[in-house]
């Protein structure tokens, strides 16, 4: 119903800045135990969970299941309950602070500057407006692992403009310290509606009446990275007049150069891998994504 959030009436809904979780020891103990059982039961089914992100969007009261926490209360839960329990029972499982959807570095500092809690935190996950905080976080905590945890899902257009925008997000996150970029909605039907009832983009669209499959522009964007940049690759810093370039070195020594052209004109570019190498020249089509792979 339009007047409810999380099946709650307006009087019962949460608000940003006010923790919804009951901050009492018995509940906090039980919730930490829930995380332990979650990991163990998946393992019993043959699925290894290597990490948990403690709360999705802790500042957002959504119409889907959510729970608002202040950074201070999440710090208490991780530092005094979840962290000590995992250290004893599941020391191999990583704890990530996130997913952070606000641009305020203070929310990160509350946890990462706590001498107790920070020992339990292996990384920080960001999405949506959290992208505004990640440059400062990467600068302030250079040794902390960072992850992009949910691509912005668009409005169901599944067009080239959406792909270009997602490219801009990928570039922003990778250039500011993340080692993972996650898309949102692998497959949707022809309505483009998620389970929560609004139209979103997807990599693939399947028409449930005809069975026709559309591979949307963002599918090919993600394929450029997913099929060429291998696990363990290292990002290479680039410079020069042409800025829409991302470069990586794979574990086998191959160099992968992703080049975007978001203009309406062909772009002639010249790549120089090092001072002793011959330049590589290429003409990049208008409105295109391209990958060059230079073998070792």
What pLDDT is attached to residue 296? 86
200-204, 238-242, 284-288: the lowest-pLDDT one: 238-242
Residue 2: per-residue pLDDT: 56
pLDDT tens digits, residue range 179-227? 999 999 999 999 999 877 789 999 999 999 999 999 999 999 999 999 9
CB 222 within 8 A of CB 287: no
pTM greater than 0.85 (yes/no): yes
Helix H, strand E, coil C: the string for 193-226 is: ECCCCCECCCCEEECCCCCCEEECHHHHHHHHHH
Per the document, the length of the chain is 296
pLDDT tens digits, 244-280: 999 999 999 999 999 999 999 999 999 998 877 789 9
HSE of 101, CA atoms in CB hemisphere, 13 A? 19
Phi/psi for 6 (5° steps) reads 60, 30
- Beta-bridge partners for 282: 269
Q: pLDDT per residue over 79-128, tens digit each?
A: 999 999 999 999 999 999 999 999 999 999 999 999 999 999 999 999 99
CB 188 within 8 A of CB 213: no
What pLDDT, in 10s, does the model give residues 33-61? Answer: 999 999 999 999 999 999 999 999 999 98
């Amino acid at each position: 119903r339009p007047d409810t959030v999380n099946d709650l009436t307006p009087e019962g809904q949460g608000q940003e800045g006010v923790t919804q979780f009951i901050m009492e020891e018995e509940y906090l103990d039980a919730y930490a135990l829930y995380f332990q059982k979650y990991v163990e039961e998946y393992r019993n089914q043959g699925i290894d969970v290597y990490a948990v992100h403690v709360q999705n969007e802790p500042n957002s009261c959504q119409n889907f299941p959510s729970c608002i926490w202040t950074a201070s209360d999440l710090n208490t839960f991780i530092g005094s309950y979840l962290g000590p329990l995992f250290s004893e029972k599941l020391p191999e499982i990583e704890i990530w602070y996130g997913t952070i959807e606000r641009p305020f570095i203070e929310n990160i500092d509350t946890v990462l500057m706590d001498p107790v809690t920070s020992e339990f935190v292996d990384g920080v996950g960001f999405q949506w407006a959290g992208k505004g905080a990640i440059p400062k976080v990467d600068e302030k905590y250079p040794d902390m692992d960072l992850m992009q945890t949910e691509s912005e899902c668009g409005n169901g257009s599944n067009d080239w403009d959406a792909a270009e925008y997602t490219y801009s997000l990928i570039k922003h996150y990778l250039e500011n310290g993340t080692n993972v970029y996650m898309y949102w909605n692998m497959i949707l039907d022809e309505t483009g509606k998620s389970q929560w009832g609004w139209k979103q983009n997807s990599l693939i669209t399947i028409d449930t009446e005809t069975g026709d499959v559309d591979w949307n522009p963002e599918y090919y964007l993600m394929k450029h990275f997913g099929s060429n940049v291998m696990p363990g690759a290292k990002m290479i810093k680039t410079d020069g007049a042409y800025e829409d370039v991302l470069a990586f070195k794979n574990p086998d020594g191959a160099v992968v150069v992703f080049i975007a052209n978001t203009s309406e004109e062909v772009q002639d570019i010249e790549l120089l891998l090092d001072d002793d190498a011959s330049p590589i020249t290429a003409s990049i089509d208008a409105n295109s994504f391209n990958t060059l792979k230079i073998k070792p």
